[in-house]
Structure 1
Amino acid sequence: MLLSCQKNSYLKELEADVVSCESSQFKIDKKKVQGYEVVLSDTVLFPEGGGQPDDRGRIGDVPVLRVEWRHDKAIHFTEQRVEVGARVHVVVDWVRRFDHMQQHTGQHLITAVADGEYGYQTTSWVILEAHASGASIDLRHTPSRVAGPQEQVVHLEDLINEHIMKSVTVTVVRARGLPDGHVGPIRVISIDGIDCNMCGGTHLSNLSHLQTIKLLGVEKGKKGKTNLLFVAGERVRKYLAKCVTREKQLTSILKAGPDQHAELTDKLQKSLRLATRNSLSLLRDVAVLEAQRHLRSGDQTTRLFSLHRKEGDVEFMNIVANEISEQNKDTLMFLTVGDEKESGFFLLSGPQEAVSSLGSSVCTALEGKGAGKAGRFQGKAGKLSKRGEALRIIEEYMRQTQAEK
């Protein structure tokens, strides 16, 4: 059956009878919720389908958390029971609904113009839930038509908004000749003189209600397809508001107007890459110096070398370990890098027997994850604040082995 929300997409509320209310478990944001499946004699809440998300609203005072099709019925999911046989007032969340109508009708318009101008066929589409994020259309194309995609996007956007300016009528009509296996009537959405397409979703009655459409560009999709991103209606204003906020933030940070943002950001990136390379080069030199300082100290009776460096990285530890082990393979090294109060990395290197015996214990003490091979055990330390505890385990092992000898 056709629901009232399909007969009149602008209908915001109605009276209906509760046909059934059964216990059910369903998912909301990937979490299981214990509640009820409610079937009404009619509804203004559109079930999810055809790329359009489902509506939200209320049955009396009971919030509706989801709506979905089941055969030819709309199933309303609630956390509270609704009395069977009761006459109830059903209200749709109109802000959410109208946003979906704008994006859905916008998709029909974009699809029709893209097909007519360039032969791009829409294979699927999706509305992104975040209001300023827009929607995405998957277009199938041939390689020869990929040339100049930005020019095509600009041209499509101009044509699309010309149709909006003309206030073209959008109507819903019935169709005969139903496909095999279909239950109930078929709805056809007609954009006068532009498009005529089967669709069960909710739509605007006039393209002027779209206000405007902004094509955000294209990106490579799966299986040779192209994803066309867009925002329509109120989402354009929200998207623009986010852009203006970011622009103001960048102006404050860069101390320059929007026209210079790209140029200054490029210069900053180049400077950062150069500084990073210089920093890494210096860090490698420090690693070699640390190893040489230990080797020159002459105090290697304990055969244990412990070092922590906040600014170091995994390569820093490996350089130190390589430098020392090349000249003294009997030295057991416990090296860590990173913020002492946060997570970081560790390396235990030296005699294979000692490393094999201590690796797991040290890793556990640091609340980390790691693995060992050929005289080295390294990994990520969950808490470098536990470094002292790990060092005590190593020192205790060294004392025991010395005593046994």
Structure 2
Amino acid sequence: MQELFYRDPYAREFTAEVVSCTEGKKGFEVILTDTAFYPEGGGQPTDLGELDGVKVNFVKRINGSIIHYTDQPLAVGSLVTGRIDWGRRFDNMQNHTCEHIFSGLVHQKFGFDNVGFHMDPDDITVDFSGEISKEELNKIEQEVNEAIAADIELSVVFPSPQELVSMSYRSKKELSGLVRVVSVPGFDSCACCGTHVRRTGEIGVFKILEAGKHRGGTRVRFVAGKRALRDYAWRLNEISKVSALLSAKPHEISAAVEKVLNDGKAQGQLLAERTKLWLESVAGRLEKPEDCVIVFENGLSPFELKKFASILQERFVGIPCAVLSEVGEKVFNYVLAYESEKLSEISRELNKKLNGRGGGRDGVVQGTYRADRGTIESAIRDAFKDLMK
């Protein structure tokens, strides 16, 4: 006998007898005489819900039996009332049916197979065996929505082995035993174990969110039905927020963002130039040392530290330079600069002594030390003395 989720995929509530209930690693494993709970399979997620108020966390078919994983035991032989999370189920039915139409059209037009299908809570991902251009996907998206608007009645059959031989249908693998074929006349015929809507009109709408090349084929992310409405509401909300932040009308936000980015770039360039002048001023106030230059200057980014080290190298030619900036309690970003093959080796030794990390090349090393200022300054000074020998 077919399970209730096949006989009536619209059944939201049912009564069945508890055949067995055993405790397992994922909770209590319950088998019923019948069930409306769809078990995970065919790319479609498990149904969720409850049995006499006991939460059903997962459903899976194992060795022909459908196991309901619950968080509490149920008495063997008792009659229980099951209630599935209908919102979740119908959402999956809409999107699974839409995937059939979409994959069927891709197969008709290009001969590509659906080689990957995954239903996340927010969207659907489908992988096709060949590359499809953005323009072609736009056309297919329109055709899928036309099929939805046509409100076509689906056909679900269990053909005999003899009938199956003469049928044309999609399948990801060789099939044996009883095969269930779901068809959307004119668009698709596919061997499938999932649940589907009765008519395409119940899907509502189909929208491709993203598409790109993937392992020699095409990966497409889409939404349909209530998911599409949720996605649209989310996007509209985000657009409204950005519109308010930019003081721009929704259809003007891309131009407003571009202006903000350009203004930010110009401000960044101006700030960089001002920082350079300031660092040159700081360097200009330093007297030429006999051995090395060690400068602690707070508030500098790693890039600014490197720039400061370069300025110091130009001012004090042939003298090792170290610039550091405190970024936390006993945590200092550093840049060491000196044209010597020994610099990398000395830097590694300093990292060991000062609980540091980092490295570099071409006479410049940078990273982070974790020690107090006095210990760092003393260790660098001693290292630079060895460097100058």
Taking structure 2 as the reference length, what is the TM-score of the superposition? 0.80
Summarize the Cα distance change of 1:253–1:361 in structure 2 as closer, same or farther, 3 Å threshold. Answer: same
Structure 1 position 84, deviation (Å):
3.2
After TM superposition, the structure 1 = structure 2 runs for residues 230-379 of structure 1, keeping only pairs within 5 Å, are: 230-294=222-286, 297=287, 305-310=294-299, 312-324=300-312, 327=316, 333=322, 335-336=324-325, 345-347=333-335, 358-363=350-355, 369-370=357-358, 378-379=366-367
Change (3 A) 1:274 1:396: closer
Q: Which residue of 1 is the match for residue 24 of structure 2?
A: 24
Match of 2:66? 74
Assess if the C-alpha contact under 8 Å between 2:5 and 2:36 holds in 1.
yes
| 2:117 counterpart of 1:125 | yes
Aligned to 1:105: 97
2: CA distance between counterparts of 1:71 and 1:287? Answer: 73
Q: 1:51 to 1:330 in 2, by over 3 A?
A: same
Instruction: Tell me the distance in 2 between the aligned counterparts of 1:342 and 1:110.
Output: 59
Quick one: distance in 2 between partners of 1:112 and 1:181?
Answer: 18
From 394, 398, 404, give the equivalent of 2:376: 394
Relative to 1, partners in 2 of residues 1:173 and 1:394: Cα closer, same or farther, differing over 3 Å?
same
Provide closer, same or farther for how the CA distance between residues 400 and 255 of structure 1 changes in structure 2, counting only shifts above 3 A: closer
Residue in 2 aligned with 1:3? 3
CA 1:2 to 1:290, structure 2 compared with 1: closer, same or farther past 3 Å?
farther
Whole-angstrom CA distance in 2 between matches of 1:184 and 1:96: 30
Distance 1:168 1:342 in 2: 70
Partner amino acid for 1:102?
Answer: Q
* Number of residue pairs matched by the alignment: 369
Work out whether residues 296 and 323 of structure 2, in 8 Å CA contact, stay in contact via their aligned partners in 1. Answer: yes
> For residue 55 of structure 1, what is the amino acid of its counterpart?
D
Change beyond 3 A, Cα 1:379–1:22:
farther
Task: Give the Cα separation in 2 of the matches to 1:24 and 1:273.
Answer: 59
> Match for 1:317: what amino acid?
L
- Offset of residue 260 of structure 1: 1.7
| 3-state secondary structure, aligned to 1:23 | strand
Seen in structure 2, the aligned counterparts of structure 1 residues 286 and 201 have a Cα distance that, compared at 3 Å, is same
SS of the aligned residue for 2:87 comes to helix
How far does the alpha carbon of each residue in 1:10-35 deviate from its partner, in whole angstroms, 9 at most, with x for none?
A: 11122223333333334xxxxxxxx2
**How far, CA to CA, are the matches of 1:343 and 1:167 in structure 2?**
66
Query: Which runs of 5 or more residues in structure 1 are unaligned?
Result: 27-34
Q: TM-score, normalised by structure 1?
A: 0.77
Residue of structure 2 in register with 1:220 after alignment: 213
- CA shift in 2, pair 1:373/1:195, >3 Å: closer
Equivalent of 2:126 in 130, 137, 144:
137
Paired AA for residue 315 in structure 1: F
CA distance in 1, matches of 2:333, 2:19: 62
Query: Which residue in 2 is equivalent to 1:168?
Result: 152
Q: Taking structure 1 as reference, are residues 320 and 40 closer, same or farther at Cα in structure 2, changes over 3 Å only?
A: same
Where structure 2 has 5 or more consecutive residues not aligned to the other structure, the ranges are 166-172, 384-389
Per the TM alignment, residue 3 of structure 1 is displaced from its structure 2 partner at its CA by 2.3
Return the letter of the residue paired with 2:62.
Answer: R
Give the drift of 1:106.
0.6
SS state at 1:175 partner: coil
Return closer, same or farther for 1:47/1:275 CA change in 2, 3 Å cut-off: same
Root-mean-square deviation (CA), in Å? 3.6
Does the Cα contact within 8 Å between 1:2 and 1:185 map onto a contact in 2?
no
Displacement after TM superposition at 1:129 (Å): 1.4
Once the two structures are overlaid, the 10-residue window that deviates more, 12-21 or 372-381, is 372-381
Contact 1:371 1:379 in 2 (8 A): yes
Give me the whole-angstrom Cα distance separating, in 2, the residues matched to 1:363 and 1:171.
Answer: 69
Residue number in structure 2 paired with 1:208:
201
Aligned partners of 2:382, 2:220: CA distance in 1, in Å?
Answer: 68
SS at match of 2:237: helix
Letter in 1 for 2:189: C
Tell me the SS of whatever aligns to 1:85.
coil
Deviation at 1:140, TM superposition (A): 2.7
Question: How much has 1:196 moved relative to structure 2?
Answer: 2.0
Q: 1:187 aligns with which of 180, 186, 191?
A: 180
Query: Does the 8 A contact of 2:322 with 2:334 survive in 1?
Result: no
Aligned residue runs from structure 1 range 32-47, under 5 A? 35-47=27-39
Change (3 A) 1:334 1:198: same
